[in-house]
Chains A and B, each alone.
Chain A
Amino acid sequence: MSDFAFNIPKNNFQDWQLELAETLLKNFNIDDHNLVDILHDFQATFGYIDKTLIPLLAKFFNLSNAEVHGVVSFYHDFRSTKPASYVLKICQAESCQAMGSELLTTELKTALDIDFHETNIAADITLEPVYCLGNCSCSPNLMINSQIISRLNSGKLKLILQNLKAAQND
């Protein structure tokens, strides 16, 4: 745990602007990009998929609004609200279960006083479940933004939350 240097970059998303979205959309062409690709790009920029984006995309792809909404809502990755600076994804799958992830999840929820898919605004943390991060031989795993932390335990979790709190003031 001594190796845990905390330098995970904060999420830094743009505020939603329809005009910006319209400009960004001009960078894409329908031959090289599919709807999922573009959704990824928009989410990387704004942090979530604003509902006013849906008609734009529908027009771009010549689809109905319902079809676009269907795609957005199908995939777990796409959010409908802006996440906090830190998104914590704690693995709920079997390998991590075998190493006590359930207890750690409860600890995390209690410490942050939120459930999955919720944000603790004061702590600037959004909590999400994830089903396997592919680092199963060092379970349990936690992903903070795009950094995975493995061999999670109670002590490590406390330290992470402390570090996140300290980083808030940066």
Chain B
Amino acid sequence: MTKIYLPRETTALSLGVEEVIAAIEKEASDRKITLQIIRNGSRGAAWLEPLLEVEFKGKRIAYGPMTTAQVKSLFEADFLNAGEHELKLGDLAEIVWFKQQQRLTFSRCGDIQSLSIDDYKKHDGFIGLSTALNTDSPNIIKNILDSGLRGRGGAAFPAGIKWQTVANAEADCKYIVCNADEGDSGTFSDRLIMEGDPYSLIEGMIIAGIAVGAELGFIYLRSEYPLSKTILEEALGRAREAGYLGNRIQDSAYNFDIRLHIGAGAYICGEETSLLESLEGKRGQIRFKPPLPAIEGLYGKPTVVNNVITLASVPIILAKGAEYYANFGQGKSLGTMPFQLSGNIKHGGLVEIPFGLTLRELIEDFGGGTFSGKPLGAVQVGGPLGAYFAGDQLDTSLDYESFAAAGGMLGHGGIVVFDDSVDYLKQARFAMEFCAIESCGKCTPCRIGSVRGVEVIDRIRDIQYQEERVEHYELLEDLCDTLEDASLCAMGGLTPMPVRSAVKLHQLLNQENDEPKINLKR
């Protein structure tokens, strides 16, 4: 019986994959053909979704993007035997967009049936866990330290050091918390792994538990991901049944279980202390640091708070060794990073590559330029708190240090492309507005400063106040300073990053119109 693969994943669903499946099933039954439809995760090529794969002579032959209208002609073209068709993309392994990537964290995603533990094991799943079970905590942590793995959520803090701190802390109980509150616009790598390869996250969390001596883990999932919720619930149940969660996992001396919690639509809950408050059922207001969550985290106990991708990268490090992972990347940015191309982009999706490619190469070689076909305008990297880049800045190398030096940040790897119709001042205003909407309200610079920021930018734009533009730019700069220096967390502290970079681009673009140039820091 021929096996065909179609994703059970949000992007594919949003583009009608269920309707395509219904059409295929009907056509197959009309033709008295039996076939097996396997629901995999997305491989991240959103521009090819819904992507259909046919298993043929040991290969996966890809067709896409699928529409119901094409189903009949696909059968006529004998797609089950790799027949020629206008949607045929050929052998999946030979598609350049995939071939040029280096998939470590996402190596299984799309290959396997998302929820099958058997499939997961056949594709090197749980090897990292068995390594962890056969060694000791210091050795696991040493592996994570040596791999150079840094927090993929945005702050890029070395994961090994965090784990070490929690392992060293003395307490009657410790926790592992997975931050799955992927709120940054332009990011979806957490969602893709949770929907396509949920066991890699579960395995990573179990290993973290063993390493630091925690017996309970929490996944804090944003409410905007209903499908991830369904898939994770199912995966957790199956992992429990198969003895990977619960008491004495795989007959070892270790106990570990995971609970799933759903957020309630607050961007700030992606900040780790705010997330912990929310997990405790409170308002998601941030906490003062110190104490760090590694010392006093959830319910006052030492807690590892890691992003989904950080945790999902752990199994391969344990399975293949720290050195294998650290051989990818450059400088202090080691391993691979799943970048996410979105916005006005032709070939959007997830691109996992070692650190070090330039932003321009990623956008042009993988992204294929803008969706609208217009010239590239600006690119916002690192979510709503990341800087806008344009022109020469696009040649910045994609690694943590180069981005920091260029006045930006890689963050969670989200890259939002705008074409040349972008209105920079409007984007600067939006950054302030977003901060005002999502501020937790605990500190004044963020709560009030963001509102004032919107007002000042409105005055810069307002024709009535054209004479006072210089003063308003100065005010804005002053406000940015205050937000940056006096906010309690990254929300207020980093909002000046998109504001300053966008205002600077606006001034550059309008210099012949006598736009005042005020010395904005970046």
**A interface residues, Cβ below 8 angstroms from B:** 2-5, 34-37, 39-40, 61, 70-71, 74-78, 91, 93-99, 130-139, 141, 143, 146-151
Contacts and interface: CB of A to CB of B under 8 A. Distances in A.
B185 A93 contact: yes
B266 A99 contact: no
Given A35-B282, A37-B261, A74-B266, A137 B344 contact: no
Interface stretch (B110-118, B119-127, B411-419): B411-419
A45 to B, nearest CB: 15
A95 B185 contact: yes
11 contacts: A35-B282, A36-B263, A37-B262, A98-B343, A98-B416, A99-B344, A134-B10, A134-B182, A134-B188, A136-B185, A136-B414
Contacts of A148: 10, 13-14
Given A39-B264, A138-B11, 9 more contacts: A2-B67, A4-B19, A34-B281, A35-B282, A36-B262, A93-B186, A94-B343, A132-B187, A137-B342
B16 interface: yes
A36 B278 contact: yes
Nearest to A70: B283
B371 A34 contact: no
B237 interface: no
A40 B262 contact: yes
A78 B185 CA distance: 21
A150 B50 CA distance: 12
B8 interface: no
B264 A75 contact: yes
Interface string B145-189: 000000000000000000000000000000000000011111110
B11 A137 contact: yes
B329 interface: no
Contacts of B280: 34
Given A94-B416, A135-B188, A99 B10 contact: no
A132 to B, nearest CB: 4
Contacts of A5: 16, 19
B371 to A, nearest CB: 7
Contacts of B437: 131
Contacts of B430: 94, 97
A119 to B, nearest CB: 18
B284 A4 contact: no
Interface stretch (B101-109, B219-227, B313-321): B219-227
A66 to B, nearest CB: 11
A131 B438 contact: yes
Interface string B321-353: 000000000000000000011111100111000
Nearest to B261: A37
Contact of B340 (A61, A70, A130, A136): A136
A36 B438 CA distance: 18
A39 B414 CA distance: 31
Contacts of B345: 137
A62 B284 CA distance: 19
A132 B46 contact: no
In this complex, the member of B267, B341, B343 whose beta carbon has the largest number of chain A beta carbons within 10 angstroms is: B343
Contacts of B284: 74-75
A22 B340 CA distance: 46
Contacts of B184: 132
A85 to B, nearest CB: 18
Given A36-B278, A137-B340, A138-B348, A98 B418 contact: yes
Contacts of A138: 11, 14-15, 46, 49, 348
B265 interface: yes
Nearest to A97: B430
A117 to B, nearest CB: 12
B419 A136 contact: no
Contacts of B98: none
A136 B68 contact: no
B384 interface: yes
B495 interface: no
A61 B280 CA distance: 12
B385 to A, nearest CB: 11
B434 interface: yes
A130 B265 CA distance: 8
Nearest to A152: B14
Nearest to B345: A137
Nearest to A130: B224
Contact of B282 (A71, A130, A143, A146): A71
A34 B262 CA distance: 11
B427 interface: yes
Given A131-B185, A134-B188, A137-B11, A93 B384 contact: yes
B307 interface: no
In this complex, the member of A70, A133, A149 whose beta carbon has the largest number of chain B beta carbons within 10 angstroms is: A133
B380 interface: yes
A135 B46 CA distance: 9
B463 interface: no
Given A98-B417, A151-B15, A2 B264 contact: no
B20 interface: yes
A70 B190 CA distance: 30
Nearest to B223: A77
Nearest to A34: B281
B266 A95 contact: no
B246 to A, nearest CB: 16
